[in-house]
C-alpha cells in the first residue's frame, strides 16, 4: 500500500473529529441565537464551555463506531454513496447512545433541538469533509502522486476492459505496460519498466498462463516489493492467505506478503517515532558518557556509518564505534575465520573489536544510535536485522523475503539467540515475523530485548 493512501486514510480521523465538533458548535449557536430563542425559549442552562467539553468527550466514541463500520479501512475504495450510508449509520448509532445516556442519567440537558440538529449537521459536514479529502486525493492523481503504476500480463478481454477502466484519471491507476504473454523476455521487460517508470502492481489477466511462469512472476514481484494480483480461474478464489477485490468488474486476487499494512503500519510508525524520540531524550546522558569513553579509549570517530540494505535499498546505519579505525578494510583477510554458515560473517574473538567495544556489544549499547535511523524511517524499533550489501548479494531467492519490511533495531532472531543461530534459522524466524506480524508480537519482542540487555549488564 502506498504511503499517500495511508496518509489520506489517517487524515480522515482528525477531519471527522473536527467536523463533529464543528457540527456541535454550529448547532449550539443556532439554538441560542435570538431568533430561535424568541420562537423556542431555552429552558435549560448549558454554558458553551461545558457543552464543548461534552462534545470533545463524546466524539471519540463516534470515531470508534466509524472504525467498526470500516470507514477507516485503507484498502477499501469508497464512493460518496458508501460514505453517506456508513456515516448516517455511525452518527445515528452515536446519537442513539447519547439519547440513551441522557435518559438514564437525567442530569445533562433535555434539548431535542441540540441532539437532532447536531445529528443532521454531523452527517452533512462529515460527508463534506470526506469529499474534500477525496477531491484532494483525486487532484493529486493528475500529478501522478499516489497513482498505482500497473503492468498487465496477458492479451485478454479482461486486460482490455481493465485498461479502459483505468483510463479515468480519478481511478488512481496508470497502465505503464501491457505484456501479451510470459516468455523469456517478460521479466527483462518488467525490469526495464520498473527502472524507467516504476511498477507498483502486476496484474495477471490470463488464468491459462502456466503455473511455472506465474511462480516466476511471483518471485519477481516479491523481490521488488511489487503487489502481485491475478484474475483467478473458477477455483482460484477458494485459496487461502489471499485477498480478493473486484476491479473493473473482475475478481482480483492479491498475494499478501505481510499483514503489516493499513492501520497496523500507521500505528507501528507512530510507536517508532514516539519510542525513538523518547529514547534519544532519556538516553542523552548515556550517549555523552559513551562518546567520551570511546574517544579516550581509541582514536577515531564516536559514531560510524555502516552500509546496510533495507526495504527501500541501501542506507547508512548508525552505531557507536566498537572497532579499531578502518576495521572494514581488515574484513576480507578475516573471512576465512568466520564461524557462521551462510553469507553473514561472525567471529567470536574478532581482533578488530576494541576493549570498550566488547562491553558495548555485549550490552548492545552500540546499537542505540539506530534510534536516529528509526526517526529517519530507515528502520523500525522491531524488525529483521539489516545486513551488509555484499551479504545480501549472497542471499538465496527465498531469503530475500526478509527485505519485505523495514529492518529493526531488534527482532525475532535477536531474542531467540541470534548469535548461536545459523543464518537459515534466523531467516526462518524473521520470515515467521513478517508473515504473522501483530502489535502484540512487537511488544513481546521488545520486552524480551529489555530482559536480555538487563541480564547482560548484570553480568558485568
* Dist. CA 110–CA 43, nearest whole Å: 9
Instruction: Write down the pLDDT at residue 280.
Output: 93
Residue 348 has pLDDT above 70, yes or no: no
Q: Which range, of 35-44, 105-114, 375-384, 434-443, averages the lowest pLDDT?
A: 105-114
* Dist. CA 61–CA 49, nearest whole Å: 20
**What does each C-alpha distance from 215 to 152, 182, 187, 204, 210 come to in angstroms?**
16, 11, 12, 12, 9
Instruction: Write down the pLDDT at residue 343.
Output: 58
Check residue 112 and give left, alpha or beta (phi > 0: left; psi -120 to 50: alpha): alpha
pLDDT confidence tier of residue 380, bands split at 50, 70 and 90 = very high
Q: How many CA atoms lie within 13 A of 147 on its CB side?
A: 23
Question: Which helix (H) or strand (E) element contains residue 117?
Answer: helix 112-141
Residue 28 has pLDDT above 70, yes or no: yes
> Which one has a higher pLDDT value, 25 or 362?
25
Residue 389 has pLDDT above 60, yes or no: yes
Count of beta carbons in the 10 Å neighbourhood of residue 303:
15
Q: Of 219-233, 250-264, 345-359, where does the model show the most confidence?
A: 219-233
Residue 335 has pLDDT above 90, yes or no: no
Q: What is the mean pLDDT of residues 174-195?
A: 82
Give me the torsion for CA of 411, 413, 419, 424, rounded to 10°.
-140
Domains present along the chain, CATH in parentheses: 3-141 (no CATH), 148-255 (3.40.50.150), 263-458 (no CATH)
Instruction: Write down the pLDDT at residue 237.
Output: 44
Q: What proportion of the chain, given as a percentage, has pLDDT over 90?
A: 18
pLDDT of 268-311, one tens digit each? 998 999 999 999 999 999 999 999 998 888 888 889 898 999 88
Instruction: Write down the pLDDT at residue 339.
Output: 54
pLDDT confidence tier of residue 25, bands split at 50, 70 and 90 = very high
* Dist. CA 206–CA 159, nearest whole Å: 8
Spatial CB neighbours of 49, under 8 Å, sequence gap ≥ 6 = none
Count of beta carbons in the 10 Å neighbourhood of residue 288:
10
H helical segments located in 248-388: 263-282, 284-297, 331-334, 355-363, 370-375
3-class SS at 381?
A: strand
pLDDT confidence tier of residue 234, bands split at 50, 70 and 90 = very low
* Dist. CA 366–CA 359, nearest whole Å: 9
For every residue of 5-32, DSSP letters joined together read HHHHHHHHHHHHHHHHHHHHHHHHHHHT
Strands 201-204 and 227-230, how do they pair? parallel
Q: What is the pTM of this model?
A: 0.65
Instruction: Write down the pLDDT at residue 78.
Output: 65
334-344 in b/e burial notation, b at 16+ Cβ within 10 A? eeeeeebebbb
Amino acid at each position: 500500500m502506498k504511503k499517500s493512501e495511508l496518509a489520506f486514510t489517517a487524515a480522515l480521523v482528525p477531519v471527522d473529529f473536527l467536523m463533529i465538533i464543528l457540527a456541535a458548535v454550529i448547532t449550539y449557536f443556532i439554538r441560542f441565537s435570538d431568533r430561535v430563542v424568541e420562537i423556542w425559549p431555552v429552558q435549560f442552562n448549558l454554558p458553551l464551555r461545558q457543552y464543548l467539553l461534552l462534545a470533545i468527550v463524546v466524539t471519540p466514541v463516534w470515531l470508534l463506531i466509524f472504525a467498526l463500520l470500516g470507514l477507516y479501512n485503507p484498502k477499501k475504495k469508497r464512493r460518496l454513496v458508501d460514505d453517506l450510508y456508513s456515516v448516517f449509520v455511525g452518527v445515528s448509532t452515536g446519537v442513539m447512545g447519547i439519547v440513551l445516556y441522557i435518559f438514564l442519567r437525567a442530569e445533562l440537558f433535555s434539548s431535542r433541538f441540540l441532539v437532532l440538529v447536531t445529528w443532521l449537521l454531523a452527517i452533512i459536514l462529515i460527508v463534506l469533509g470526506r469529499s474534500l479529502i477525496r477531491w484532494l486525493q483525486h487532484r493529486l492523481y493528475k500529478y501522478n502522486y499516489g497513482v498505482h503504476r500497473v503492468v498487465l500480463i496477458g492479451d485478454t478481454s479482461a486486460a482490455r476492459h481493465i485498461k479502459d477502466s483505468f483510463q479515468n484519471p480519478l481511478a488512481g491507476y496508470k497502465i505503464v505496460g501491457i505484456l501479451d504473454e510470459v516468455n523469456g523476455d517478460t521479466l527483462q521487460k518488467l525490469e526495464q519498466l520498473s527502472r524507467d517508470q516504476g511498477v507498483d502492481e502486476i496484474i495477471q489477466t490470463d488464468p491459462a498462463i502456466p503455473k511455472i511462469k506465474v511462480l516466476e512472476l511471483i518471485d519477481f514481484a516479491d523481490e521488488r516489493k511489487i503487489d502481485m494480483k491475478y484474475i483467478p480461474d473458477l477455483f482460484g478464489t477458494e485459496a487461502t492467505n489471499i485477498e480478493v477485490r473486484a476491479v473493473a468488474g473482475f475478481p482480483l486476487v492479491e498475494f499478501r506478503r505481510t499483514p503489516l499494512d493499513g492501520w497496523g503500519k500507521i500505528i507501528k510508525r507512530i510507536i517508532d517515532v514516539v519510542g525513538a524520540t523518547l529514547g534519544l531524550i532519556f538516553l542523552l546522558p548515556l550517549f555523552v558518557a559513551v562518546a567520551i569513553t570511546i574517544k579516550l579509549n581509541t582514536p577515531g570517530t564516536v559514531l560510524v556509518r555502516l552500509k546496510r540494505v533495507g526495504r527501500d535499498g541501501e542506507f547508512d546505519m548508525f552505531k557507536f564505534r566498537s572497532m579499531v579505525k578502518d576495521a572494514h578494510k581488515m574484513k576480507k583477510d578475516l573471512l576465512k575465520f568466520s564461524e557462521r554458515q551462510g553469507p553473514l560473517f561472525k567471529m567470536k574473538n574478532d581482533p578488530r573489536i576494541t576493549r570498550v567495544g566488547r562491553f558495548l556489544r555485549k550490552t548492545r549499547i552500540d546499537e542505540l544510535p539506530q534510534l536516529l535511523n528509526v526517526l529517519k524511517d530507515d528502520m523500525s524499533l522491531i524488525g529483521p536485522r539489516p545486513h551488509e550489501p555484499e551479504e545480501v548479494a549472497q542471499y538465496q531467492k527465498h531469503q530475500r523475503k526478509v527485505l519485505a519490511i523495514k529492518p529493526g533495531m531488534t527482532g525475532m532472531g535477536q531474542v531467540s539467540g541470534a548469535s548461536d543461530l545459523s543464518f537459515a534459522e534466523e531467516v526462518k524466524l524473521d520470515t515467521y515475523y513478517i508473515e504473522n506480524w501483530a502489535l502484540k508480537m512487537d511488544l513481546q519482542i521488545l520486552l524480551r530485548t529489555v530482559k536480555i540487555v538487563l541480564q547482560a549488564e548484570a553480568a558485568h
